[in-house]
Chain A
Amino acid sequence: MYDRRVVRGNTYAQQIIPTVNLYLEELSDVIVASDIECQTDAFLDKPATPLFIPAKSGKDVETQIEEGELFDFDREVQALLEVLVGKTVEQSLEEVMEEEELAGLRAQQRAFRELRNNELEEVLRLKEQERRRSKEKERRVAQQKEVLRKEREVAEKIAARAFTQQYLADLLPAVFTSLRSHGYFYDPVEKAIIDDVARKRQEAFKDTQ
């Protein structure tokens, strides 16, 4: 192997070697190095593929619908419009009729209710009138009964009084006659004189005994 750093052969003999400056190299620890890097390029957008336009072949043909060829607008639109407008008008007519019917119903109800209230008031008024009158009749009948009862009572009282009077009319003379006959009515002077005479006769009789 040839390594320039290694001296081969005799080192002593080196002294007479001609200058090897040219062949000398600086020895260092630093290893000469150089950096090299490699990097792939970033992906580039693939350019758009060009349209594949085949070569023209065949015959060119064209067609065009002219006005009036497909359908007659005026004729067709009539049917369409009829349906559209007709349905709208029909719907609105129905709604209006419905509202009118409801309004009519409400008016009818209101009229009915007014008449009903009218007649009901009359019925209630007459009922109350009847109640008042029958109450009044009852009161008057009761009043009359009371009057009759009082009259009867008065008549009975009068009759009782008359009878009593008649009964008592004879009572008094009869009593007096009876009393008189029993000697309850006397003339005090007469009695005094008679008593005196009787007493004197008694005493005279006693004296004679």
Chain B
Amino acid sequence: MPKCALLALDISGFRVKLLDKHRMAGSPYDPSRAPVAYGRRAVPQLFSELQQQEAPRRLRALASLADGRLLIILQEKRAEALLTLVPKLMLKLREEEEEEDVQVLLLSTLSSCSCLDPLPALASDGVSLLLHKLSDSSTDIRREATAALMALSVCEDGMRQVCEEEVLPVLVDLLRDKDVEVQANAAGVIMYAAIINEGKRQCLDLDVIPILLSLVSQDGEEEKDKERKKALVMYSLRALTALAEAPQGRCLLLEQLPLLGRRSEAAEEDQDIRRNAQNAVRVITWTPCNTGDP
């Protein structure tokens, strides 16, 4: 079965220009994609394909769904398409009869939809479903589940649900996962959850600061790892910044300023990491007098 490892595309503000070749969804020349009906019929038709018993047909339909072009269509007919698509995706994921490849694609589609609008997935109890997938043995599934969770935790409701459903302990474990992307996505969810008070409290209870600091430190880092670890370092710095707003976190982090200082100096090549680190230092050392607030 062809592995259609397609990336979920985030469309907001970023137009995708796909090559007009046989990879385009709908062309009869690509045997790994199911043909896509035009306009509004796209989603229902692809979904009826998904209901079929034969796995190859389903895989093709799913590949079309996860493909970028459909997401562009979705953006134009946003609300109705997402509202129908997301619950069905979640139903299929809950059934758990699918093979790993199909599950990965389903999760990746859910991820893209949630980037456009996280509310439908949250309303269908997405957090608890994804929590279940976080402990899967497959790296791909863990990666896509954490990515989807990150998309969901962008709104306040999502942050609250992440805290309520006790997802954070599992995420802290995933910070020590073998795969860099899984680690990065987990750090991403934590950085969003730590924005609200409840999230800060839970993170501090789980003693997550030392773990984040170890991810940020540069010891033993090789050149080739830096590129891949960039997101991980950025998100960890953001999480630390959010936790520094709480008194307990600030106490712990004041002791670790040298480490963060190293990352904020000019010696740090990556500009984004440098900015993040400088920001973190600024928040940690904030006092009421030096804000300039009246």
Contact flag A125-B14 (CB < 8 Å), given A117-B150, A117-B235: no
Range of interface residues on B (Cβ < 8 Å): 20 to 34
Q: Which residue of B lies closest to A114 (CB)?
A: B231
> How many cross-chain pairs have Cβ atoms below 8 Å apart between A and B?
53
The interface stretch among A104-112, A138-146, A195-203 is: A104-112
B123 at the A/B interface (Cβ < 8 Å)? Answer: no
Cα–Cα, bound, A147→B231 (Å): 50
Contact in complex: B23, A102 (CB < 8 Å): yes
Decide yes or no whether A115 CB sits under 8 A from chain B.
Answer: yes
CB under 8 Å from chain A, chain B span 239-294: 241-242, 245, 272, 276, 279
Bound CA–CA A122/B188 (angstroms): 12
Q: Which of A106, A116, A125 contacts B195 (CB 8 A)?
A: A125
0 or 1 for each of B10-22: is its CB under 8 Å from A? (1 = yes): 1000101011010
Do A124 and B195 touch across chains, with their CB atoms under 8 A apart? yes
Judge whether A118 is part of the interface by a CB distance below 8 angstroms. Answer: yes
| CB of A120 closer than 8 Å to a CB of B | yes
Q: How far is the CA of A117 from the CA of B231 in the complex (A)?
A: 9
Q: Is the CB of A128 within 8 A of B10?
A: no
* A129 interfacial by beta-carbon distance below 8 Å: yes
- A31 to B93, alpha carbons, bound, how many Å? 106
What does the 1/0 interface line of A87-108 toward B look like (CB < 8 Å)?
0000000000010011001100
Closest chain A CB from B256 CB (angstroms): 19
CB-CB under 8 A from B82, the residues of chain A are none
Count of residues in A whose CB is under 8 Å from the partner chain: 22
| CA–CA, A120 and B154, complex, Å | 8
A112 to B230, CA, bound (A): 12
CB-CB under 8 A from A128, the residues of chain B are 195-196
Interface string of B181-201 (1 = CB under 8 A from A): 000000010011001110000
Q: How far is the CA of A122 from the CA of B279 in the complex (A)?
A: 10
How close is B172's CB to chain A, nearest CB, in angstroms? 18
Interface residues of A (CB under 8 A from B): 98, 101-102, 105-106, 109-110, 112-118, 120-122, 124-125, 128-129, 132
B residues neighboring A (CB under 8 Å): 7, 9-10, 14, 16, 18-19, 21, 23, 150, 154, 188, 191-192, 195-197, 230-231, 234-235, 238, 241-242, 245, 272, 276, 279
Supply 15 further A-B pairs (C-beta < 8 A) apart from A109-B14, A114-B230.
A101-B19, A109-B10, A109-B16, A112-B14, A117-B188, A117-B231, A117-B235, A118-B272, A121-B192, A121-B195, A121-B238, A121-B242, A122-B279, A125-B241, A132-B197
